[in-house]
Every structure is written in structure tokens, then in C-alpha cells.
Amino acid sequence: MAAMGQYRNIVILTGAGVSAESGIDTFRAGTDGQPSLWEQHDVEDVATPEGFARDPELVQRFYDMRRAAIQTKLPNPAHDALARLDAAWGGDLLIVTQNVDDLHERAGARRVLHMHGEHLKAWCTACDVRSPWRGSLADYPPCPACQARSLRPDVVWFGEMPYEMNRIYAALRRADLFVSIGTSGAVYPAAGFVRDARELGAHTLELNLERSQGSHLFHESRLGPASQTVPSWVDEVLAGA
């Protein structure tokens, strides 16, 4: 592999694996003997607009529980290392996270894009305003902007368009290094970014606990817990910068 110092524009895709060691459940594979989120819940019930239309209270309670839980968690060394890279890197850098937690930001990262939304925001489907939100949505609180009782979690469910796709593809077009961290490669369009980046000429690197569905698509895969692989990769990049 080429020395990390030769790269200038970096896109980093993160998934649930980057937050696993902070104690936040992944979706598809439980860690340390714990069941994953989708083993405990039917995806169709809690992560689709149809599920929400069928049983809004169930969905609101599911997200209330997770919104409360993430506020008790702390960034881990993988988030810290990415924040360190963000602060030090002079070229373009974009952390495209599929995660709806705020641990990248709490670690200090600034160049973060939440393509699947954020737990700590509520979206009013009446006035289309997104408001910061930390509490419950299950009791139909009024929207801070228009007072309608039409707030839902500001997250992207299956069948909905992920956020800021134009900005993501623009960053992928400029990237000479694409790094995927802790994601199974099971959900599109994020799972397709490695092909896009590669076709556009970027070097592609995967950091994951174990081989993922898309591992064969990367130029290089490094296996291990993100709390170890990410800091050592960041050290390597900054040593070559």
C-alpha cells in the first residue's frame, strides 16, 4: 500500500462498529454475547415509514429509549482519534457517519455529516423544521417552531432518501483516500460508496472487527476493534502528513 502521506482528500464512512465499544448496540451483529438491535426488534416495525404509520407509539418509544441511552454513553478512542485527525488534517476531510449518535461531535470532530439523521433532533412533518431534541417524543409534544404535534425522530428509515447525498458524492469525487470504519456494508447507498470511490480513483481501506459483506471491494482491510485500529491508522496518516 502507498504511504499514507501521499493522500490529501479523505472521506471516512463510519457505521455502528465505531460506537460499539462505547456501549451502543450495532444493528446486525451483537458484540460480547449481546443481541443486536435487529435481533430484538423487527426492522419493518421500527425503521420504516410504514411501521411508523402503523404504530407510531411503538416507534416513538423505541427511539425515546435509544435517545436517552446515547446520552449516557461516551466517545471511545476511535472517535477521539478521528477528531484528532479532523483537527490536524490540512486537506479536505469529511466524516460521513451512518450513526445517529453524537459521539463524533462529542469527541470534538467538526467535519461530520449524518447521512441517516440524528437522535438528538426532531423533525416536524407539518412545518418541515428540525429542532434540537433530548427528551421524549412519545407524548406528542408541540413542535417548537409551529406548535403542531407532528414531531418524529429525525432519522432516515428504509425507503427514505439519506441526507446530503450531493455533498457526499462531491466529496467522493475529490477523495484520493476512502476509509470505511465499522460498517457491515449491508445498507445502500452507503454500501456502494466503496465502488464509487474506487471507480473515481481513490485508494480504499476498510477497518472492521471482522470481514464484512463488502470486504472484497476494498484495496485493503485491517481487522480488529476500532478502538485499536483507528488510532493506529490515524497515527500513520499524521506521521506521513
Known binding-site residues for Zn(2+) equal 124, 127, 143, 146
Closest distance to ligand BJW from the beta carbon of 90 (Å)? 27
Instruction: Give 39 or 91: the residue with its C-beta nearer to ligand BJW.
Output: 39
**190 versus 237: smaller Cβ distance to ligand BJW:** 190
| Contacting positions for ligand BJW (CB under 6 A) | 15-17, 20-21, 26-29, 31, 47, 98, 100, 116, 155-162, 165, 182-184, 186-189, 208-210, 212, 225-226
* H-state helical runs in the chain: 17-20, 37-40, 43-46, 49-54, 56-70, 77-88, 103-107, 165-174, 193-199, 226-240
Q: Which positions are catalytic?
A: 116
Nearest approach, Cβ of residue 105 and ligand BJW (Å): 16
Least Å distance, CB 44 to ligand BJW, is 11
Q: Specify binding-site residues for NAD(+).
A: 98-101, 182-184, 208-210, 226
Residue 60 to residues 41, 57, 125, 212, Cα–Cα distance (Å): 13, 5, 14, 31
The SS3 assignment for 148 reads coil
Task: Find the residue with minimal CB distance to ligand BJW.
Answer: 17
Q: Which residues are annotated as a binding site for substrate?
A: 63, 66
As measured in angstroms, the least distance from the Cβ of 59 to ligand BJW is 9
CB neighbourhood size of 11 (10 A): 26
d(CA 225, CA 149): 42
Q: What is the CA radius of gyration of the chain?
A: 18
Phi-psi region of 132 (alpha: psi -120 to 50; beta: other; left: phi over 0): beta
Task: Identify which of residues 125 and 147 has a Cβ nearer to ligand BJW in the complex.
Answer: 125
Which of 9/14 has CB closer to ligand BJW?
14
Q: What is the rounded CA–CA span in Å between residue 195 and residue 213?
A: 13
Distance (Å, whole) CA 85 – CA 93: 9
